Amino acid sequence: MVTLSQQLQATAAAVQAVRAGRSLTAELARVSPELRPGVQALAFQVMRQWGRAMALRERLASKAPPPAVDALLCTALALGWQGDGAPYPVHTLVNQAVEAARQQKQTQAQSGFINACLRRFLREREALVADTDSDPQARWNHPRWWVARVQDEYPEDWQKLLDMAQQPAPMSLRVDTRLHSVAEYQAQLLDMGLAAKPVGASGLQLERAVPVNQLPGFELGHVSVQDAAAQVAAPLLLQGLKAECAWRILDACAAPGGKTGHLLACYPNAQVLALDVDALRCQRIEDNLQRLGSQAQARAQVRSADAAQPAQWWDGVAFDAILLDAPCTASGIVRRHPDVRWLRRPGDSAQLAQTQAQLLKALWPLLKPGGRLLYCTCSVFRSEGDETVQAFLQRNTDARMLPSPRHLIPGKIPMGLPVEHNALGEHDGFYYALLEKIRD
């Protein structure tokens, strides 16, 4: 039987890895299957409360203890500081955290220290929490630089953005409308006791998340898991043009393949080249295509290559359309990946903006005159959206901006979307700019 102390040990180990710069997703994949569901739930809550936990630990012990000890102590504080919001009674969390410390070599010698800190926390919780309220990192559970940037870039919406980032993301589906209408699939879900509401042009947002193997027809490609904001990309790319034409499309930085599959569904005669620099992530594209069936596989080619180096992979035939989902800080998807805020550093956005500019510069010559390039990032930071695109437009007089939604901000009604996409429900933060190459 899995005990809470075992779960806390594994959660603290994952948290320690994040603090060392490693992805929480990768760390959770290493957790034993019997522990993983519980550890994932705890780790997500810890990451969402990490700012408060660090502030509390600084008041309980001004000098940071060894990393493994600090991770376990802060894990307990993150889970227990809200009282009623704790996943277990706070006294139980404290007892089991101390037990977890005693059970592993890295923390055994410091179990008394952890016990003393947590017992003091129980006695003085109200005063300690009040004392940390003035710290923006504790109040908003994001790094101070992140809070300051969101305040500066979104003076009217910054609090809403930071609050939304603390909420678990909903599970959204994209229905393959060649096989079912949205209403038909919604009815199938309801028959199984799964309530869902329509979002976007072909999406449904579930009232509660479920394992994908419970979704009707998932293994047959009838439906895919995809955020409502991400579902905008494929139809926007060639909006207003004939969908049935034999478009030659490049999906750059394509993994894990959700947008690749959507392109194939939207444009039934298109040929899509899906690129990703990571060979392991390319396998995820292949897996997605296999689930979508032989027709999708026949119309898509997957290659592991650097999109910024066309000389290594391009055959010299220009593309009708390019979808560039560029590498970014992922600041728009922190609800799904709450560790991102703690992995990023203040200079990352500027460095990634340079990468984005390099990709635009490399891929633009591959586009036919009259062709379209859709630039997108899952970021809410301006330097990875409008600033990058406006700089590109200034350098390329053969490019013009077509109507596009630009920044899609969680919790705010999106502007500039096609009518059929207006009701996106709860969605991630995204940026879209649709560019057209001017004919001579």
| Residues assigned a catalytic role | 378
Question: What is the spatial distance between Cα 228 and Cα 208, in angstroms, rounded to a whole number?
Answer: 15
Q: How far apart are the first and last CA of the chain?
A: 70
**322, 374 contact by CB (below 8 A):** yes
Q: Which amino acid is at 156?
A: E
Neighbours of 309 (CB within 10 A): 12
Are β-strands 319-325 and 367-377 bridged in parallel, bridged antiparallel, or unpaired?
parallel
What token pair was written down for 145? 């630089």
At 66, list the tokens: 């060894």
DSSP single-letter state for residue 170: P
Q: Hey, what are 181's tokens?
A: 């209408």
DSSP letter (8 states) at residue 421:
G
The alpha carbon of 440 is separated from its chain's Cα centroid by a whole number of angstroms, namely 39
| Cα distance between residue 7 and residue 420, in whole Å | 44
Residues 407 and 208: their CA atoms lie apart, in Å, by 27
| Separation between Cα atoms, residue 325 and residue 317, nearest integer Å | 21
Token pair of 265 as six digits: 């569904």
- Residue 237 Rama label (left phi>0; alpha psi -120 to 50; beta): alpha
